[in-house]
Structure 1
Amino acid sequence: MNSLAFTRRQALTAALAAAALPTRLRAANRPAPLYPDAPIRLAIEQTSLELAKGIVIPTTTYNGTVPGPLLTLNPTRRAVIHVTNNTSRPELVHWHGLHIPSPVDGAMEEGSPMIAPGQTGTYDFLPGPSGTRWYHTHAMAGRDLGAGGYSGQFGFIDVDDGRFPAPYDREIFLAVHHWNGELCDMGAPVSDQMVCYRHATFNGRLFAAAEPLRVKAGERVRFRFVNASATQNTAIALPGHRFRIIALDGNPVPTQASVEVIRLGVAERVDAIVVMNNPGVWMLGATNDTERASGLALAVEYAGHSGPPRWLPPPRNDWDYSRFALPGPIAQPEVDDIIPMVISKKFLKKEGMDEWRINSQVFEDAPVMRLVKGRRYRFRFFNASREDHPVHLHRHSFEITAIAGRPVAGVIKDTVVLPLYGSLDVDLRADNPGRSLFHCHQQIHMDYGFMRLISY
């Protein structure tokens, strides 16, 4: 890739100096996908995004759309992706959830070079594992709440090996994003987690401007959600219907359970089947009234029905990772080492923002964590803060092995929400050598210390 090797702080300094709903009809026993013969080309460019009539915001996108192009990749064929940076700041693309080499993973801390303004970089890798993955910028934003993850730089990746954990008739890709973020004015010094947003969308369109999702009674619809927001976790419901969860972060779950509510931490993906068995016009949307009123909703309209969509609060929030795990009793497997990871913060410590620490160290001061190839490690997280953290590990998947001290097994993810004052154990097999970045996927936490590098 043509670029200079920028540090994260240098990148911040440099940074400061038509959105359709992509849907695809698919038979349950579809043929294996075809990989395009020509390389994929993405352009990072400034775009005036119309969220709704009269509501246009400037942002940065891939190929001028939000989400960017849906990339369907075959895990048996190499992907060659040329990315041209048509903006005025250094950029790079992270291929989230893929187990690929460090230099092409798209994180400067791992050795992926930035793409300088006006330059083109090439990512060449064998995609995998199969499932719902996504791509997004991994540039620093700092106090610029229009850059990095706050922008429109995100899109779906479908790594498709032709095998699916459940039959369905149709699939819908929906990306959640929050827009026009600003540090909230609470009449006092602002803690950096307090980012307020004016708008929220599915696929870059406010509820009032989005075309309804038109369905037929009896259809089995596979929803593929990603939370592509910079800092905002969310919860989603579809009144009168239940979600049967078939995959988390693209990985099939061992127990397919039905829930009223899907909780999506930042960067999490959920694949869910909904059987359309309650005719009418309904509102798929955020369970939070304010968030839903800001635009995070979509009408689901059955054939032969019309009128305003109906919203009903879900009877309960029944989201729990352990519902999708192997049935108990569970004995935790043997590991070669247990690594404590204590998350804490210093209030308004850095540039007027909270400073985030792992084991009392900020990223800049922490040594690289050295592992040994082939060994199994248990990361034991404790959240000593009063905020949820969607924590992500690059280039690997991990297994959740305990929630609040209670053993679980079989749930494979790359991003997991560590609840306030909560604890989690996740097990990692060191099977993808090189440098890998671990961080909170809340942009403002990552930018202010909540990162760590591992290497083996």
Structure 2
Amino acid sequence: MNVMTSHPTRRQMLAAVSAALTAPHLVAPRLARAASPPSVLAAETRTIEVKGRAANVFGLTGPDGRPGLTLDPGQRFLFRLHNRLAVPTIIHWHGQTPPPAQDGVTETGYAGPVAPGDVADYDFAARPGTHWMHSHLGLQEMQLLAAPLIVRSAEEAAADVQEAVLFLHDFSFKAPEELLAGLGTMDHGAMNHGAMNHGAMNHGGGMDLNDVEFDAYLANDRTLDDPEVVRVERGGRVRLRVINGAAATAFWLEVAGAPAMVLAVDGNAVVPVAAGRVPLAQGQRVDLLIEVPAGAVVPVFAQREGDRQRTGLILAAPGAAVARLDGMAAQAAPPADLSLDQGLARAGAGSALPEGAAQRLRLTGSMMPYRWTLDDRAWGEHRPLAAAAGTRMRLDFVNESMMAHPMHLHGHHFDVVAIDGRPVAGPRRDTVLVPAGATVGIAFDADNPGRWLLHCHNLLHMATGMMTEVRYG
């Protein structure tokens, strides 16, 4: 295990989180010219109701006035981000593979944050699939500055299937900075009140689970006290696009009382398999084909790992009566695992690029002090990983810590090629879970030159240092 010789104070952690807010030498992206004017995507404040209380949160509103974006087949990603917040922001297009200057991050030096009242323009070829977008500045993602980003393929548009989206998030009435400051300290008065959850530690056979006790777990901004009800068209076939936009929570999905098939993960088609219970780590997505019987009500639950708490939505056939659902499952869910990846095979041909040298990345850090690293190095002290353009890079994640880490690579999608040293022809993803003590191998084509972030998609882990970059070109 990694032994840390020093650790940041609360003040240092908060300073590190807010440091990215100032980058005077960088500016937001601008289009030189475009064939047509961009549509507006607004970052703005909004009010939602959580368990009977009003909550002021952030949001991303598309040109149709709804959260997020849905693009038609072949539609270009041509949007103007208008920052209507009182603070700077920048939005990352998770799952998209744009040029590096349009990735929506500040850390790699291509662009600065978008100031309040300012705009940033984006224009690139959209990658089909179920994706999402979220702030990549400080802890704004915890304030719900995130939304779906759906790019429909021609095949999906032609299918006689109804579509719906289930966007998951975790929520606290406390400020994100307060939650982070309470982690990794000996302040027992804060524990289990929005800070460290020691009751969940070591629940998963030596694993630490659930850094934070959130006040609620949301599905499309709602809890099971008042869930969204999707009325299913006659025929009963629904493609449900599930996005885990939670900052620090992994879920298990369960479709109650109806057959379901997994069609895609992270926007990439797989050989369809029966769904069963599906683990979904932070940043991951899954497309489910659900057959809703005539007259039936089919709840889709998302249960927090290591806990009984759950959220979800309801698919209801025409005329079906909807009963109240319990927000607590009968039993606690196990830790999220790799059972889905082990049972999936990617659809389509593999890469024809020559393989480069394999590299190894250790996932390190601890709960006490609360500091997460890669190869024992935090962001700013990191050593970038080098790739060779035009080759296929193999990377093995070796988790030496006591927590699982969903690892996300910007600007690329990769194939899961090995689990604990055993070769697999696994799915194509952009975010893969690496459980405590596990080793997961991935391979990706180095076909998008630039500087690309690689980090844990538990936001609190990333904020305390668990990030590096891949560089080539």
TM-score (norm 2): 0.78
**Which is worse superposed, 109-118 or 335-344?**
109-118
Partner of 2:142 in structure 1?
150
Read off the aligned partner of 2:237 and give its amino acid letter: R
**C-alpha distance after superposition, 1:236-291 (max 9, x if no partner):** 212112320111000001x2101221211111111110111374334321245997
Rounded Cα–Cα distance in structure 2 between residues aligned with 1:300 and 1:155: 21
What SS does structure 2 have at the residue aligned with 1:98? Answer: coil
Rounded Cα–Cα distance in structure 1 between residues aligned with 2:157 and 2:418: 24
Partner of 2:223 in structure 1?
206
Rounded Cα–Cα distance in structure 1 between residues aligned with 2:313 and 2:70: 25
What SS does structure 2 have at the residue aligned with 1:444? Answer: helix
Shift of 1:385: 1.3
Judge conservation of contact 1:326–1:408 (CA < 8 Å) in 2: no
**C-alpha distance after superposition, 1:107-129 (max 9, x if no partner):** 11123423343242323222332
**C-alpha distance after superposition, 1:334-386 (max 9, x if no partner):** 7321111111114444xxxx111211211211132222101111111111112
Rounded Cα–Cα distance in structure 2 between residues aligned with 1:178 and 1:154: 12
Structure 2 matches for 1:7-406, cutoff 5 A?
12-13=18-19, 38-51=37-50, 54-63=52-61, 69-73=67-71, 76-141=74-139, 148-164=140-156, 167-180=159-172, 182=179, 183=182, 186=188, 194-215=211-232, 218-253=235-270, 255-277=271-293, 279-288=295-304, 293=309, 296-308=311-323, 319-325=339-345, 335-349=355-369, 354-406=370-422
Rounded Cα–Cα distance in structure 2 between residues aligned with 1:309 and 1:454: 48
What SS does structure 2 have at the residue aligned with 1:208? Answer: coil
Judge conservation of contact 1:251–1:413 (CA < 8 Å) in 2: yes
Shift of 1:84: 2.0
Structure 2: gaps of 5 or more residues: 1-13, 23-34, 198-209
Judge conservation of contact 2:342–2:426 (CA < 8 Å) in 1: no
Partner of 1:451 in structure 2?
467
Read off the aligned partner of 1:274 and give its amino acid letter: I
Q: Say what the alpha-carbon RMSD is for the aligned residues.
A: 3.4
Read off the aligned partner of 1:40 and give its amino acid letter: S
Read off the aligned partner of 2:438 and give its amino acid letter: G
Rounded Cα–Cα distance in structure 2 between residues aligned with 1:363 and 1:297: 35
Instruction: Quickly say closer, same or farther: Cα 1:75–1:370, change in 2 above 3 A.
Output: farther
What SS does structure 1 have at the residue aligned with 2:154? Answer: coil
**C-alpha distance after superposition, 1:301-353 (max 9, x if no partner):** 33343252567879x989421211169xx9xx97321111111114444xxxx
Judge conservation of contact 2:362–2:374 (CA < 8 Å) in 1: yes
Rounded Cα–Cα distance in structure 1 between residues aligned with 2:422 and 2:161: 37
Rounded Cα–Cα distance in structure 1 between residues aligned with 2:380 and 2:294: 54
Judge conservation of contact 1:281–1:306 (CA < 8 Å) in 2: yes
Shift of 1:158: 2.1
Instruction: Quickly say closer, same or farther: Cα 1:166–1:256, change in 2 above 3 A.
Output: farther
Rounded Cα–Cα distance in structure 2 between residues aligned with 1:168 and 1:244: 16
Instruction: Quickly say closer, same or farther: Cα 1:405–1:243, change in 2 above 3 A.
Output: farther
Rounded Cα–Cα distance in structure 2 between residues aligned with 1:345 and 1:70: 34
Q: Say whether residues 1:416 and 2:432 are aligned partners.
A: yes
Identity %: 26
**Which is worse superposed, 90-99 or 276-285?**
276-285
What SS does structure 2 have at the residue aligned with 1:103? Answer: helix
Shift of 1:403: 1.2
Rounded Cα–Cα distance in structure 2 between residues aligned with 1:129 and 1:397: 11
Rounded Cα–Cα distance in structure 2 between residues aligned with 1:455 and 1:197: 36
Instruction: Quickly say closer, same or farther: Cα 1:378–1:217, change in 2 above 3 A.
Output: same
Judge conservation of contact 2:231–2:317 (CA < 8 Å) in 1: yes
Rounded Cα–Cα distance in structure 2 between residues aligned with 1:10 and 1:385: 22
TM-score (norm 1): 0.80
What SS does structure 2 have at the residue aligned with 1:409? Answer: coil
What SS does structure 1 have at the residue aligned with 2:441? Answer: strand
Shift of 1:223: 0.2
Instruction: Quickly say closer, same or farther: Cα 1:247–1:107, change in 2 above 3 A.
Output: same
Shift of 1:131: 1.1
What SS does structure 2 have at the residue aligned with 1:163? Answer: helix
Shift of 1:218: 4.3
Rounded Cα–Cα distance in structure 2 between residues aligned with 1:104 and 1:263: 31
Shift of 1:83: 1.6
Structure 1: gaps of 5 or more residues: 1-7, 17-35, 142-147
Judge conservation of contact 1:200–1:291 (CA < 8 Å) in 2: no
Partner of 1:145 in structure 2?
none
Shift of 1:43: 2.2
Read off the aligned partner of 2:144 and give its amino acid letter: G
Rounded Cα–Cα distance in structure 2 between residues aligned with 1:289 and 1:422: 18
Judge conservation of contact 1:166–1:246 (CA < 8 Å) in 2: no
Rounded Cα–Cα distance in structure 2 between residues aligned with 1:324 and 1:219: 25
What SS does structure 1 have at the residue aligned with 2:101? Answer: helix
Rounded Cα–Cα distance in structure 2 between residues aligned with 1:45 and 1:291: 33
Read off the aligned partner of 1:42 and give its amino acid letter: L
Shift of 1:434: 0.6
Shift of 1:191: 5.5
